[in-house]
Structure 1
Amino acid sequence: MLPIPIRRPYEVERLPQTRLTALLSLLLRASDLLVLAVAAIVAHKLRFGGASMSIEFERAIARALLFTLVILGPSSTYRGWRAKDWPRHMLRLFVLWTAVFIAGVLYVAVLKVPGVTSRLWWGYWFVGAVAGSCALRLVCLCVNRWAHAHGHEVFRAVIVGRPETASRIAIGLRSTLAAETTLLGWFSVDENAAPSMSGLQHLGSVNALRHYVESQGVRQVWLSPGEADSHWTTQVLDALKHSTADIKYVPSLAGDAIFSGSVETLSGMPVINLRSSPLDGEAQVIKGIEDRVLALLILVLILPVMAVIAVGVKLSSPGPVLFRQKRHGLDCMPIEVWKFRSMRVHQETAGAVTQATRHDSRVTRFGRFLRRTSLDELPQFFNVLQGTMSIVGPRPHAIAHNDYYKSVVQNYMQRHRMKPGITGWAQVNGLRGETDTVEKMAKRVEYDLYYMQNWSVLFDLRIIGMTLVKGFLSKAAY
C-alpha cells in the first residue's frame, strides 16, 4: 500500500481559514508591498519636492521590500481579522513594521550607504507604510464581517458529547469562532441526557447524527465524549464514513491526545483533527487560481482541436456533440460534467449507469478513438473555468457507482473532500478505464487519498507533465 503521511500528534496548527479570509490574506501580502513602495515615493516627493529619485533610494526601497517578505511574511498578521483582537493585532503589526525599518536603517548605517540618510524621508515613509497597512487591514475586517453577516463562508457545526463537555466546546466556539461558525446544537452520547442546555439546542442522541449532518449540510462535527464514552468515537466515525464533514475531537484529558491527527487549540482546549479538509482556505485559493489560469491557457491552445472533434462527433452518429452527466463534486454536491459524446444515443435503465467495456457496441468508431486518447474529456476544461472541477484531482464517477462503491470500499467518499479532476495521480499510474472489480476501485481510491494528503502546486504540475507524456493513451480506456 502507498504510505499516507500523517502529521505529528502534537503539532499545533492555526484554526483553518475560509476561502474568503485566505483570498484576503493573499491580496494583503501583495498590497503591503505595494503600500510600502507607494509610501516611499510619496515620502520622497514630500521631502524633496519634484526631484527625481536616485538609484540609492530605489535600492533602499528594494531592500525594504525584501525585509518585509522576511519579517512580515511568516507572521500571523495575514491570517484572520477579528474585531476583538484588533488592538493586539495592530500592536503586533506596528512592531513588525518597526523591525523592517530598523533593518533598513541599520543596513544604511553599518555599510555607510550614501544618499539615503534623510531622517525626514525615513520618518514620512515609516508613517505612510504603517498607516496604509493598518487601513488595508481595516478594509479586510469590514469585508470579512460583512461576508459573515450575510452568511458567506460560515461553517455549520454540531457538537457530540455530554452536557458538560458540549457546553465547554460551545463556549469556546462562541468566543473564538463566533463569526465563522453557526452552531446548530448538540447530540448527546447518552439517550437519557437532559434534552436542553442554556442557549444550545438538543438535537437528539448520536443515533440521529448521520441523517442530520447529511440533511443540514453540516461542515464540522465537534466530538468530546467523557472518559467512559470512548466507544462513541468509533460509532460517530462509522456513522459519518460517507460524509465529508470535518471531525474534531476535544479530549477530556491532555493524556488522551494519542491520535496521529494534527492538533489545534480552541480557547485553550486541545482539538485533535480526526478528519480534516486536505486543503485549507489558502490552499483552496491557490489551487483555484492555478486551475483557472492553466485551464484558460490550455483552452486557447486546444480550441481548434475541439472544433475538429465536434465536427467528427456530429458526423459519427446522430445526436448532440456534448454528453452531460451528473456526478458528485466537492462535498458530494451534484455537478454536471461535460464530455464529447463517444457513444450512440441510447436509454439507460433508471438509476443505473453501465460502464463501457471492451468491444462495447454503444461506442462509435470515432468515439473509441476519443476514449482511447482521452480527447473526449477536453470539454471538462470549461468545467474547470466554471469552478466545479480541477485540472488535477480524483476522477468523478457516476452517482450510481458512488452509491455502490461507498459501501464496499473503505474511505471511498473521502475522495469528495476535493474537487474532481480531469486527470489524477491514479490515472497517470495506470488506474484508468473500467473498474470491473472492487480491488481495482480500492486501488484507485488509495492513490486518490495519497494525492489529497500530499497536494502541492509542484505535485499538480508533475501529474500534468506525466499526463502529457503518457496519460493520453491507455489500453484500459474503452
Structure 2
Amino acid sequence: MTNSMFRQDNSSSFFYRFVDLLILVVTLLSCLIAYSQSLTKDYLLILLAYLLCYAFVAESVQLYRSWRVGRFGRMLFLLIAVHTLCFLALLSTLFFLKQGASFSRVVLVGWYGLSILCLISWRVMAKEVKTLRRKKGLSMQRVAIIGYTDTGRRLHQQMQEHIELGFDCVGFFDDRALNRLGEGAAPLIKGSVESAVMMAQQGRIQKLYICLPMLAEKRIADIIQRLGDSTVDVLMIPDFLLKNLMHARIGSVGEVDTLSVFESPVYGIKEFYKRAFDFLFSAAVLLLISPLMLTIAAAIKATSAGPVFFRQQRYGLDGKPINVLKFRSMRVMENGAKVTQATKDDPRITPIGAFLRRTSLDELPQFINVLLGDMSVVGPRPHASAHNEEYRKQVDYYMLRHKVRPGITGWAQINGWRGETDTLDKMAMRVKYDLEYIRQWSLWLDIKIIVLTLFKGFSGKNAY
C-alpha cells in the first residue's frame, strides 16, 4: 500500500472525528438556544466530559477505521450504540452524583436526539455525494489487474459492484492461454502482463494490482522491477497474505519498512483500552459475585478434602507461564508433564465439582487473574502446559493463540467449541476460532462475546 493511500485514509478519518465532535458541540448549543438556556459552567463541564467519553469509546470500538464496502449499515448501528452508551453513562453519572436538577431534561434529551440524527445524516449524505461523483466519472482511477486468479476475480467483482470505490478497471492481464483460464475469461482479458507494464509506463493507468500466487515469486519480482520505471501505484494481493496474515500492519525499523505477519492486534493505545476494560469489569464482577464465591468455597470444603482453589500452570501472553485459578472440582489435581482431560462421568470429579464444571462456575476465580493482569475477560481459553506442548506439534499456528492474553470466555466457546477436545479435529476447530478472534479483535467484539456468553457460554454438551 502506498504512502499516499495512508495519508488519504488518515486525513479522512481525522475529518470524520472532527465533524462528529463539531456536531456534538453545535447540537448542544442549538438545544440550549431553542429552550432559552444559557451555556453555564455546568453545561460546559458535561460537554467536555461527553466529548472525551465519546472519543474514547469510538476509538475503542474502531468506529473510524476504514469500513469495508457493504458494511455501511453496521457502521451506522455502531455509531448509534456508541452515542447511546455515552449518553446513558452521562445520565447515570448525573444521577449518582445527584446533579440532575442542575440540567434541563428537555435540553439533554433534545441534544441526544438531534445529535444522533445529525451524526447519521451527514454520513449518509457523504456516502451519497461520493457515489454520485463516481457515477459522473469524477475522481475515478483507472486500474488494471495482473493475474486472472480467484483473488483477482474477487477484487474485480468488488470494484464492479461498488462504484463508490472510484475504480475504473480496464481488465485483467495474464500470460496464460485463454483455454487455461476457464469459461468467461475471454471478455475480461485485455492482454499479457507485458501489456499491463507498458500501460503503466505510459501513464494510462493509476493503479496496478498484482494478484499472483506466492509461488510466482520470481515473476512478481520481475514485474515490480520493471514497474519501477513508472509512476503507477503498485499493490500486491497474493493469496498467501489473504489466508495467513494474523494482523497485517506496516511498520519500520529505522528507514526499513516492515510488514507484520504474526503480530497481536492489541498494541499501543488499544492495549490500554483492553486492559482498562478488563480491570474495571473484573473488579465490578468480583464485587458482585463475592457472596456466591464464598458459598461455593464453603461447599467445596464441606464435601471433599483439599484446598478450595486449584492452581494450574498454563501459558499466558507470549507463551509465558501463569498460574490460573479455578475452584477445585476434582479429588486428584494434575499439573505435571501429563494431564488427562476431564471426560464424561470422570471418577475424579467431585459431586459439587460436576455441577461447577457444567455451569462454568469453577471458572469464577479467574476474574482474580484478570484483575492481576495475567488473563483477560475475553480471549483464547488457556490450556494446560502439557496440552500446549502436545498440540503445538500437531495443529498449524497453534501457538499464535498466545499472542493475546488468555480469556475466561472466548469466540471459540460461544461457537460451541467448549470443554473436552478428545480429537485433533476438535482442537483444530478451537484454534481456528481463536485465531479468527485475534484477527478481528476490537473492544466491541469483546463486549459482544461477553453478552453471548450469558446466553450460551456457560454450558455445553462437551463440558464435563
TM-score by length of 2: 0.50
Larger relative contact order (CA 8 Å, sep ≥ 6): 1
